[in-house]
Structure 1
């Protein structure tokens, strides 16, 4: 028997380190935000709320990174504006969709951003996805069809589902942009710029969408401040935790986000049809398959950035 065989054979451990427990807790928080935003849409329009939450996030991160902001470069400003624009589109459209679809549906559809990354790279950059990402894309499409429609399994998607699907494409674009500028910019400065850009663009979008400033609401104010502070804290926690957690392990943890959202939604009274739940499960499997393929290709910077940066500004 080869004495090194145990070291060479991949193993799966159910024990979680402190860093992994932190990532699990973060994922649970993300899952809960879908229901929170869904409820906030009863007192605010989507663009105003997105603008307010990212203004709060920019303020919190800016206070922590104040000393580093003076060194802002032109490429950091460009990167921050481009990423911020994609964030505005991604989370603005996602929030718009939450006005008419359940938080559980929104979470599962939003998770499609992971298999959309290799698809976008193929369509825009000409990089054909490998076998596993292709399988992930196919499973994601089947899962989406089962999840869509009021009865589940319908080939007709509602406006809220279509808008949320487009938001997932925008989030995938955000991931690609982050990977493109990785290593060329200071993360602290770019994070402040992208959050501020997302906030400003969201407020500006209120005019063409004819959205009005809502009346004062404690639910609106506390939710925006809470999500902003949470985004700042989660960014720091992720950077700390993923120093010791492998990208593959982190991916498996992050794939539970729509599952936690479904659990929270069910506790709150949301009920998805059985076939829609099957569709959600296929989407989660597609996420894992797509991401695991990236982790094996360590030579590509996109692989590392997808897992390390995927949700950090949006939640």
Structure 2
């Protein structure tokens, strides 16, 4: 492995760690603000964090390269922002312990949320069937392993599943749709346009989240102040820093390496939940996590 590829793998490893520990920040933030308020502020921060990067990259852009049209960025970013809004909202509500407890429901844990959200890598090739794509044997075996793993992780002995787990699972379907939508919108874009597209989608998601929060949640300065650290991590580190590292790293990383390393996000989510929140997985749940991770990797390596 050459030095550029090694550096890329290290950066992707750091990216996976940042994203994994973000589930802890999302869970902690729910002690102070509602899920929509949390998402609205953090995605607004994320959009702002990417703006200096865009301005810097524009300076080194060839003057002969016009880039994609503003209309394409606005429409595409808006559609992506809508898919992102549903995926992020379902995930965040699923993690909202105090809010769900008030209605008699059980939230998911940071570790569980990481593994369940990671199922989107299995859903993407399966959804490709709707686009006349033909998944390979790895996808089907990976999907089967993921289903069994999901059962062991989330379904109890009396065949019930927590409401939080269910919401995060539905959210994973939107994450898969989001990935497919990116696949339709991003061809032909250079790095600058790709980051612009992401910035627009983050801004759109922030606006939608805050608008819904105004009508459904109590927004207070004290609450936002109390959740300042989790929000800052979710917005600046998870969105701004990690996304930038991913863009830089994947220019030199091998696709198979990138898929494997980024899937470790779910492992870091479980590790962060254990280290910082005292979350403990049963042996049954750990076996389920192992099967889900194997399914994710197989669906990526043999799609």
TM-score by length of 1: 0.82
d(CA) in 1 for partners of 2:142, 2:219: 41
Unpaired runs of 5+ residues, structure 1, are 1-11, 295-315
Give the equivalent residue in structure 2 for 1:7: none
Task: Supply the distance in 2 between the matched residues of 1:252 and 1:71 (Cα, whole angstroms).
Answer: 31
Residues 1:228 and 1:148: Cα distance change in structure 2 (over 3 Å): same
* Aligned pair partner of 2:150 in 131, 144, 149: 144
Residue 286 (structure 1) aligns with: 295
Q: Which has the higher contact order (CA 8 A, sep 6+)?
A: 2
Give the alignment partner of residue 196 of structure 1, picking from 192, 199, 203: 203
Alignment correspondent of 1:182: 186
Partner of 1:82: 79
Distance 1:115 1:57, change over 3 A: same
- The one of 101, 119, 126 equivalent to 1:112 is 119
What are the Cα deviations for residues 205-234 of structure 1, in whole angstroms up to 9, with x where unaligned? 2256x2221442434123223322222222
2:245 matches 1:237: yes
Match of 1:4 in 2: none
2:168 alignment partner, one of 158, 164, 167: 164
How many residue pairs match? The answer is 277
For 1:216, the equivalent position in structure 2 comes to 222
Larger displacement relative to structure 2 (85-94 or 234-243): 234-243
Q: CA deviation at 1:153?
A: 5.6
d(CA) in 2 for partners of 1:148, 1:155: 9
**Residue of structure 1 aligned with 2:110, choices 96, 103, 124:** 103
**Greater helix content:** 2
Do the aligned residues in 2 keep the contact of 1:45 with 1:214 (CA within 8 Å)?
no
Alpha-carbon distance in structure 1 between the residues aligned to 2:163 and 2:185: 34
Residue pair 2:91, 2:168 contacting (<8 A) in 1 also: yes
2:55 is aligned with 1:91 = no
Structure 2 unaligned regions, length at least 5 = 59-65, 97-106
Contact kept in structure 2, 1:148 and 1:154, CA below 8 Å: no
- TM-score, length-normalised on structure 2? 0.85
Say if 1:245 and 1:91 are closer, same or farther in 2 by CA, change over 3 A: same
RMSD across aligned C-alpha pairs, in angstroms? 2.3
SS in 2 for 1:17: helix
Report the CA distance shift for 1:76/1:236 in structure 2 as closer, same or farther (over 3 A).
same
SS at match of 2:227: helix
Corresponding position of 2:32: 43
Choose which of 33, 40, 48 in structure 2 pairs with 1:59.
Answer: 48
Q: Distance in 2 between matches of 1:264 and 1:242?
A: 25
1:134 match: 140
